[in-house]
Structure 1
Amino acid sequence: MPSMKAAGRGTILFTGGGLALEPYPEWATLAAGKAALRSLGLGLHKQLLPWGIHVAVVAVAGIVEPEGPFDPDRIADQYWRLHRQPLAHAQRELVHLPEGADPFYNDPSARHRDVSEPIVAQPLLDS
């Protein structure tokens, strides 16, 4: 970052996730991490913009896979667009959620359940 400050320009892009915006119960710890990353990125945006450094968070609100709404090439285009933005119009956050995608969590094949344990309510014990 010192070299960016000295040059008076630079770009820092963080990869966030839709879970920071809409937590999914089975992935609460990942959601907390993505929310913290989002806060870091938004805070750095305010702190570094006066130095000419553009900081932004790209929240990918779904599962990345080729030839779908979350195609990696489409997402890469969003990163490039953010990097090329003039500072006067610098976005601090971009949510990649294509039209028609599920705003809660886009996982039509329910693959997240393959790696998640079911939530089972446990009775409270008297002490």
Structure 2
Amino acid sequence: MDKKNPIAVVTGVGPGTGAAIARRFASGGYAVAMLARNRDRLAALEREIPNSHAYQCDVTDEAQLDVTLDAIRATLGAPRVLIHNAVGGAFGNFMEIDPKVLNQNFQVNTMALLYLARRLAPAMIAAGEGAIIASGNTSALRGKASFAGFAPTKAAQRILAESMARELGPKGVHVAYVLIDAVIDLEWTRKRFPEAPDEFFIKPAAIADEVWHVAHQDRSAWSFNVEVRPYRETW
């Protein structure tokens, strides 16, 4: 393939936001490395999305990440953009949750961002350009009772991203946190909210468009906290 194509790494590529982000960056001229644990789903998306490349990987496993990122560099080149969209979630109050679940969600949401950034940021710094974007949600800002197994990990993820932004921004690498304050329009969410009108949901493609915009902002006007929500969302 033509290695002149910039490289984007997208984690957590499933049927919703991850796939939409992969499509948006591929349509924008990127070679997209799609990471997820589900091999069959990745293979189907690889056939569907031009210039996309499937890599089965558990982002919480450093050894797997090293193998995967080495393969991406060898085949595609050094990534210019990282979108950490993989997410671990669980519902329950602090008495109900299994502490192991909270720890696992922390590994997916926060530690995986750290692992990925530590491996990809040095080449971005050397190139003097790059973007690292984490997809978040309202739990990064507040801890509701039933979100005790999830919200602490998203809050930590946002603060880690902010720390990274303050370190990497002056070196030419844009770090941002795209907070999704909405129910994403997916098959299972439609079933969960069968009576909800269309405007209740946020479209994955619309999220992807905003991620694309943030990744390509002019250096004189970089954003960090970016919030997206449907126009009728109460906030």
Say whether the fold is shared (TM-score over 0.5).
Answer: yes
Correspondence for 1:17: 137
Deviation at 1:11, TM superposition (A): 0.2
Query: How far, CA to CA, are the matches of 1:100 and 1:24 in structure 2?
Result: 21
> Which residue, 183, 205, 226 being the options, matches 1:63?
183
Residue 81 of structure 1: how far off its partner (Å): 0.6
**Please, which runs of 5 or more residues in structure 2 have no aligned partner?**
1-120, 187-197
- The percent of aligned pairs where both chains have the same amino acid is 30
Q: Which residue of 1 aligns with 2:206?
A: 74
Instruction: Map Cα deviations across residues 90-115 of structure 1 (whole Å, 9 max, x no partner).
Output: 00110112322132xxxxxxxxxxxx
Structure whose CA Rg is larger: 1
Tell me the TM-score normalized by structure 2.
0.42
2:156 aligned partner, one-letter code: A
Q: Which residue of 71, 74, 91 corresponds with 2:223?
A: 91
In the other structure, the counterpart of 1:26 is 146
Q: CA deviation at 1:70?
A: 1.0
The aligned amino acid for 2:131 is T
Q: TM-score, normalised by structure 1?
A: 0.75
User: What corresponds to 1:101 in structure 2?
Assistant: 233
State the superposition RMSD in angstroms. Answer: 1.4
Structure 1 alignment gaps of length 5 or more: 104-127
The answer to whether residue 167 in structure 2 is matched with residue 50 in structure 1 is: no
Instruction: Quote the offset at 1:63 in angstroms.
Output: 1.8
- Spell out structure 1 runs of 4+ moving beyond 6 A: none
Equivalenced residues, count: 103
2:182–2:230 CA contact under 8 A, matched in 1: no
User: What is the CA-CA distance between 1:83 and the residue it aligns to?
Assistant: 0.6
Q: Which amino acid aligns with 2:130?
A: G
CA distance in structure 1 between the partners assigned to 2:160 and 2:138 by the alignment: 16
